[in-house]
Amino acid sequence: MNELTYKNKKLQFAGQDISTLTKKFKTPFFIYSEEMLTENYEQFSQGAQKAGLIDPLICFAMKSNPNKELVKILAKLGSGADIVSGGELKRAIEAGIPAEKIVFSGVGKTQEEIEYALKLKGQGLNSFNVESLEELELINQCAKKLKKQARICFRLNPVVQPKTHKYISTGNKTHKFGLLEHDILLSLKEKKYWSHSKLVGLSVHIGSQLLDLKATKKALVRLSEVALKTECPLEFLDVGGGLGVDYHPDETHKLPHIETYMNLIAETLEKAFYAKTDLRPRIVFEPGRRIVAKAGLFVMKVLRNKVSEDNHFVIVDGGMNDFMRPSLYGAYHALLPVKDAPKTQKCHVVGPICETSDCFGSDRPLPPLKSGDLLVLKDTGAYGYSMGSNYNLRGRPLELLLEKKKKIRVINKAQDYSELT
């Protein structure tokens, strides 16, 4: 589905005319398409099945977009969740994701969060994805205190170097994430860790916005080797998240198809794991960006123009506090005028925040824009609202859902000054 098109020179998102929305809703706002979210999830899930991966469980990475209504849609489609805090755990459960489909990642789980997870009804979480031996010890102690058994999955640090921004690369020993093979294998011999814990899986997650899958393949080989060396009847192998999207047109030809990604996983595991054992663990995924990035847009209004000799600034009402990726990672996101017209000038599109990094794009070809005109920042469904803040004491923006039946629903209202404490 082509998410953005012009009809009569007016921008349409998943068939919805953006300019009519701004008559009713105050900018800036995020809008998400239920149809696209569903399509992305289904493509991912069906891709895993088509590649013959065993009983795949898709655990949506909640950090990419924890909006309750979006998570509810994914829960109904059968999604699980990858969570990293008590807040995300609560949100996942409230949105209808069963505990047994939840994996709890993160290097800094607190005792309170661990106990909250252990107290959940039934068999509890699918797993605690453990990132250090001290964490393992704490989980075991908490489980003992609560008379439970904790389900443990080690996150392996496979010591690989994926090609991505250094801030979102996680698979090397210089990064705080995961455990080295040596520590995993030694821990299995130490009784103190296992009185109330059981090893059920092994996971790997080497980074985000991955377009080149060479390091992914290496990491899967390492995952298989270590899984075999544990000599435990693992219930699952968790291959993490990280699959990228094409933010820039130059990335489109590099973008791995879901089919390519799934086949790579199937073939690598076949050679490195299944050929060497009778075990048939299920496959767990933790995708975030690939499910939700393209299902969202950020809509802003032009406040004014400012020209400093050859620098033309278009000042908009959205800021880096609403959408941080360009200022934090220098990330590219396409900027589109809501009214199509010849692009006759190159502009810097900047927000109102008092930082020079509050810039959504430099030297972007755009048509002449005046106060009140609308601009859209593309592919903002992932790591958008979830990374936002009240910096400069600005209220958080509105979030809208374009439902399948084409109705618009407010799924998170804008904050106004009175709510800021």
Write down the least CB distance from residue 245 to ligand LLP, Å: 9
Q: Which stretch binds ligand LLP (CB under 6 A): 24-32, 189-197, 286-294, 400-408?
A: 286-294
Of 70, 97, 74, 75, the closest CA to residue 409 belongs to 70
| Residue 183 CB neighbour total at 10 angstroms | 15
Of 240, 245, 243, the closest CA to residue 333 belongs to 245
Query: Of these, 91, 148, 151, 205, which contacts ligand LLP (CB under 6 A)?
Result: 205
Q: Which stretch binds ligand LLP (CB under 6 A): 23-31, 67-75, 135-143, 239-247?
A: 239-247
Q: Which lies closer to ligand LLP via its Cβ, residue 165 or residue 282? A: 165
80 binding ligand LLP? (CB under 6 A) = no
61 binding ligand LLP? (CB under 6 A) = yes
Write down the least CB distance from residue 56 to ligand LLP, Å: 15
Region of residue 6 (phi > 0: left; psi between -120 and 50: alpha; otherwise: beta)? beta
Kindly state the tokens that stand for 49. Answer: 């099945």
Based on the residue annotation, tell me whether 354 is a catalytic residue of this protein: yes
Query: Of these, 40, 126, 140, 209, which contacts ligand LLP (CB under 6 A)?
Result: 209
φ, ψ at 179 (rounded to 5°):
-115, 145
168 binding ligand LLP? (CB under 6 A) = yes
Contact 164, 210 (CB under 8 A): yes
β-pairing verdict for 374-377 and 359-366: unpaired
Of 229, 201, 257, 223, the closest CA to residue 82 belongs to 201
321 binding ligand LLP? (CB under 6 A) = no
x/- mask, ligand LLP, residues 120-159, rule CB under 6 A, reads: ----------------------------------------
Beta strands in 156-193 (DSSP E): none
| CA separation for the pair 247, 55 (Å, rounded) | 31
289 binding ligand LLP? (CB under 6 A) = yes
Query: Of these, 80, 241, 256, 281, which contacts ligand LLP (CB under 6 A)?
Result: 241
Query: Of these, 40, 208, 268, 321, which contacts ligand LLP (CB under 6 A)?
Result: 208
Write down the least CB distance from residue 330 to ligand LLP, Å: 11
Which of 59, 232, 354, 359 is flagged as catalytic?
354
Q: Which lies closer to ligand LLP via its Cβ, residue 156 or residue 316? A: 156
x/- mask, ligand LLP, residues 92-111, rule CB under 6 A, reads: -------------x------
65 binding ligand LLP? (CB under 6 A) = no
Q: How far is CA 146 from CA 92, 119, 121, 136, 326, in A?
A: 22, 8, 12, 15, 45
261 binding ligand LLP? (CB under 6 A) = no
| CA separation for the pair 42, 58 (Å, rounded) | 10
Q: Which stretch binds ligand LLP (CB under 6 A): 182-190, 283-291, 297-305, 308-316?
A: 283-291
DSSP 289-310: HHHHGGGEEEEEEEEEEEEETT
β-pairing verdict for 282-285 and 57-61: parallel
Write down the least CB distance from residue 61 to ligand LLP, Å: 3
Side-chain half-sphere of 67: how many Cα atoms within 13 Å?
29
Of 4, 1, 6, 16, the closest CA to residue 406 belongs to 16
The SS3 assignment for 4 reads strand
383 binding ligand LLP? (CB under 6 A) = yes
Q: Which stretch binds ligand LLP (CB under 6 A): 241-249, 300-308, 353-361, 365-373?
A: 241-249
Q: Which stretch binds ligand LLP (CB under 6 A): 135-143, 183-191, 219-227, 285-293?
A: 285-293
Of 401, 221, 383, the closest CA to residue 290 belongs to 383
Q: Which stretch binds ligand LLP (CB under 6 A): 43-51, 202-210, 368-376, 389-397?
A: 202-210
Query: Of these, 35, 286, 322, 373, which contacts ligand LLP (CB under 6 A)?
Result: 286
Sheet holding 4-7, edge to edge: 4-7, 10-13, 16-17
Region of residue 391 (phi > 0: left; psi between -120 and 50: alpha; otherwise: beta)? beta
Positions marked catalytic: 354
Which residues lie near ligand LLP (CB under 6 A)?
Answer: 61, 64, 82, 105, 168, 205, 208-209, 240-243, 286-290, 325, 382-383, 387
